[in-house]
A and B are shown apart, each in its own frame.
Chain A
């Protein structure tokens, strides 16, 4: 009879393995945006009405450190102790409604990804804590625990303006430091930061990157009396839990890099200008919706998934795409395909019109010109994209090409008599000669 302990197989993860797995899955810019997500969740806890005026997130990428700080209310000590540092979200944890942070990995993953040590200081109106850790040393420890370095679970109430969280990571991993030194990287990060939370920034949240407030572009679609974007609302239920989906499809400026679908989950952009099968585009030109090509550079589609229960939304853990197997996403995608088809048809007609030789009458192009960009909130619901319909007139070719072979000797002679240099001219002149004498008279 073997003794009990021989029956146990050790499957504990090593911290080293766990960390390396965790950070491999995510790009540096995305890891940083994950930290911004936590700030946005703070803003949501603080301002349930969705007005974020006066709230601000500052991000700094320096030579040897990274810092992000916000004035979004701070992390309560309980939340830090029970959840914020756990890997994965414990069941039964009260979640921030409509939260962006969902999987319980974002912050830790970003910290490990960026550098060797981190320090988190957070102040709420009634509490304050500091956690500081050297990751290399932490890896050596057996236990999966962090320690508060400073802790004031109950303190004198302070003004809201003094609350907030600051996270600092230093020294940076060499590859991260190198990225930070590149202007192209910083440019990309700024661009991604400015669009990731476009909904929250539209509602007043300010994001400052290396001292410069990021500008965001409003989401727009062209609209006029004769051209109206499609705008539908869908509701899905999981038991009694609701997921709202709002869809828009239409046209905007011709821009191949901006064309495509934009998918948001609880306000967070997870897919940007997508032109792949994930959002319903075809793989070939002949499918329900054709493969993307540049005559569709005016297409824009927006899909907003929103739920109190973030776990019901179809995002992947890195929030860099959608979980295309999610049943709610599949059902939505079908509706997206239905909405985009008439837009694609219109853009095909627009393209055909461009190719027409008659230059004076281009009703579709005039219709596009007459339409003005409208903010999404100014677009009324309607099940179908409306655009002027011009009949596709098949322009019959006005010329025909004739080709034939004749004995070289005879051709050369004809060429000589006609006094022309090319064989093409021989053909044309002989045809003209025949036509003049036999057809015109």
Chain B
């Protein structure tokens, strides 16, 4: 299988592009915990480093680590490293994460191409066992439902790959099509977080016990269905700090742990520049007034309204 960076140009995945900018906007709000540029960012930069470029440019983060499993192409990754402050560490994330010092507030984006596997949960567990309060974990996995196969029901395959005890007991075969797999994956990832924190809390005094506040539950498809979920780990005593962050004012965030909670679905409508400019002049919308553009379907307009501040525009350029 070719790695996704060889198949798609990262920058051209519009929904992912939107999501990345939304992440930045939410991370800015962490300034109640610590100045955002003092955070450490750990991600999988691949050859494009889109997230690193954005996080460095717009958040000022300098302590950056890119984990890369493809050791055989090491020189190529080194060559593409866009900034001096990015440290490249080669190996599987499950091997690299334990070798880092965990005394800094960290934003970890486990941005996988593949589906939810045990190794993903291993990384999540490691983060939750080690991260200092105020740290953020973001996990992206492919959540495309398995191809239908009567011999191999999706639920059974899922139980096989992750272990029966990890699948919530109420999940049925019929819950897995479309965005159902993403919804189940979100629950499994959240359970791993809660379980690990509960273990860790066994040794902590009440006010230091660790809590998890989910921030992200994005679903999007630039190709396959993808899920991004994650949130903030903090100490029980930091409740008021969280309140000051004002996460509730960002309407793309999703806090609910309810099994039936709805994701923020990122859909990027295809619009012309002229339409975009026309719509932008009416946004943000005045209460009671309708946003219109000639012949543009109203669903597209509604989608656009939700993401217009993050909307990607691509143009051909000679760099």
Contacts and interface: CB of A to CB of B under 8 A. Distances in A.
A394 B72 contact: yes
Contact residue range for chain B? 20 to 34
Contacts of A232: none
A286 B205 CA distance: 33
Contact of B126 (A288, A331, A391): A288
A334 B129 contact: yes
Contacts of B130: 338
B168 interface: no
B129 A284 contact: no
A326 B202 CA distance: 8
Contact of B203 (A327, A341, A383, A391): A327
Contact of B122 (A236, A287, A391): A287
Interface string B111-124: 00000011101100
A288 B201 contact: no
Interface stretch (B20-28, B92-100, B247-255): B92-100
Contacts of A234: 203
Nearest to B198: A330
B203 A286 contact: no
Nearest to B122: A288
Interface string B287-304: 000000000000000000
Interface in B10-64: none
Contact of B129 (A286, A327, A337): A337
A287 B202 contact: no
A345 B93 CA distance: 12
Contacts of B99: 342, 384
Contact of A331 (B72, B118, B202): B202
Contact of A330 (B98, B118, B202): B202
Interface string A362-405: 00000000000000000000011000000110100000000000
B202 A327 contact: yes
A86 interface: no
A237 B204 CA distance: 8
Given A286-B117, A288-B125, A392-B71, A341 B199 contact: no
A236 B204 CA distance: 7
The 5 A-B residue pairs with the shortest CB-CB distance, nearest first, are: A327-B202, A331-B203, A331-B202, A286-B118, A330-B202
Interface of A: 234, 236-237, 283-284, 286-288, 326-335, 337-338, 341-342, 345, 383-384, 391-392, 394
19 contacts: A234-B203, A283-B163, A286-B118, A288-B121, A326-B202, A327-B201, A327-B203, A328-B202, A330-B199, A331-B201, A334-B129, A334-B196, A334-B199, A334-B200, A337-B129, A338-B98, A345-B94, A345-B95, A391-B71
